Structure 1
Amino acid sequence: MTTHLVLLRGINVSGHNMIKMEALKTTLEAIGFENVQTYIQSGNVFVDTEEENAAAVGFKIKQEIFKAFGHEVPVVVIGKADLEACLKNNPFLKEVVLDIKKLYVAFVSTILRSDNINDLKISQFKPDEASIDENKIYIKYAVGAGKTRFDQKYIEKKLNVTATIRNWNTVTQLLQLFDER
């Protein structure tokens, strides 16, 4: 059995793409996922399955969400190693003075090359900062996520990927939940 963390983008935001977590849990159990656990309303779902391929799991869930709820929801599926890498590889954690509330991670659907950072043209968003690590982009917002144009839509457009962003508190909580499973 493999545990996957499914990150849904854009659900339950400002009254759009509303999905109750209990209904989502029931729907995913009905199509064969086991030990389904949700964390907060923003679309973080743990599932256990015999399927090891994360892309296959994401595709199946995306299809079922459309079928059951009528929403076209982008999905990124990650494993425990992805979250552990966040704690180990986030370059911003090495800073002496750090406001954790300004740290975010964009999880993307494919492995990125280190030179993709040039494609993002992050310098035009200074003083925001970003660093790429495989399928993650570590972000440090100068003011906050709500006051920048360096967001998930921008990342998706520039890199031609599916992306979803989580704040640092959520990332650490999700890792803790993985450990508890």
Structure 2
Amino acid sequence: MTTHLALLRGINVSGHNMIKMEALKTALENIGFQNVTTYIQSGNVFVTTEEDNPAKVGFLIKQEIFKAFGHEVPVVVIAKKDLEACMTNNPYLKEKDLDTKKLYVAFVSMALRSDSINDLKMSQVKPDQAHIDANRIYIKYAVGAGKTRLDQKYIEKKLNVTTTTRNWNTVTQLLEMYDEFD
């Protein structure tokens, strides 16, 4: 059995794509997922299954959300090692006096090329900063996530990928939760 973390994009945000977590849990259990656990209302769902392939797990979740709730919701499935990599590879964690409230991670649907940072055209989003590491983009906002051009839509348009973003507090909490499944 494998535990996967599915990050759902754009649910329960500003009254759009509303899904109660208890209803989501029931829907996913009904299609065979076990140990379904959610964290906050923004679409962080742990599932345990015999399926090893993260892309297939994501497809099954996406399909069930559409069937049960009528919402077309992008899903990015990540492994525990992806969250662990966030802790070791995030270059901004080395900075002195870092305000972690301005630190985010965009999880991307596929591995990016090492030169993909050029495609983001960072000069257009300064003073915000970003660093690409495989299928993660570490973001440090100068002011905050609500006042930037460097958002999910911008990243998806520039890199032609699906992405979902989580703040640093959520990333660390999700890793702690992953540890509970071991």
Question: How far is 1:175 from its partner?
Answer: 0.1
1:82 aligns with 2:82: yes
**Residue type at the aligned position of 1:22:** E
| Stretches of structure 1 lacking an aligned partner (at least 5 in a row) | none
Counterpart in the other structure of 2:64: 64
Which residue of 2 is the match for residue 4 of structure 1?
4
CA deviations 1:18-71 (Å, max 9, x no partner) are 000000000000000000000000000000000000000001110110000000
Q: 2-side partners of 1:154 and 1:54: how far apart?
A: 25
CA distance in 2, matches of 1:144, 1:46: 28
Which residue does 1:38 correspond to in 2? 38
| Structure 1 partner of 2:96 | 96
| Per-residue deviation, residues 114-147 of structure 1 (Å, max 9, x unmatched) | 1000000112111100000000000000000000
Segments of structure 2 that go 5 or more residues without pairing to the other structure are none
TM-score (norm 2): 0.99
Root-mean-square deviation (Å): 0.5
Distance 1:136 1:122 in 2: 16
The percent of aligned pairs where both chains have the same amino acid is 81
Instruction: State the one-letter code of the partner of 1:44.
Output: N
Aligned to 2:156: 156
**Counterpart-to-counterpart distance in 1, 2:19 and 2:54:** 22
**Residue 120 of structure 1 corresponds to which residue in structure 2?**
120
Counterpart residue type for residue 39 of structure 1: Y
- Are residues 1:49 and 2:11 paired? no
Structure 2 partner of 1:28: 28
Find the residue that maps to 2:165 and give its secondary structure. strand
Does 1:178 pair with 2:178? yes
* Cα distance in structure 2, aligned partners of 1:140 and 1:153: 17
Partner letter of residue 176 of structure 2? Q
CA apart distance, 1:96: 1.0
Letter in 2 for 1:43: G
Q: For residues 53-108 of structure 1, what are the alpha-carbon distances to aligned partners after superposition, in whole Å with 9 as ceiling and x for unaligned?
A: 00000011101100000000000000000000000000000001210000000000
- CA distance in 2 between counterparts of 1:22 and 1:157 reads 33
Distance of 1:23 and 1:122 partners within structure 2: 40
* TM-score normalized with structure 1 length: 0.99
SS class of match (1:143): coil
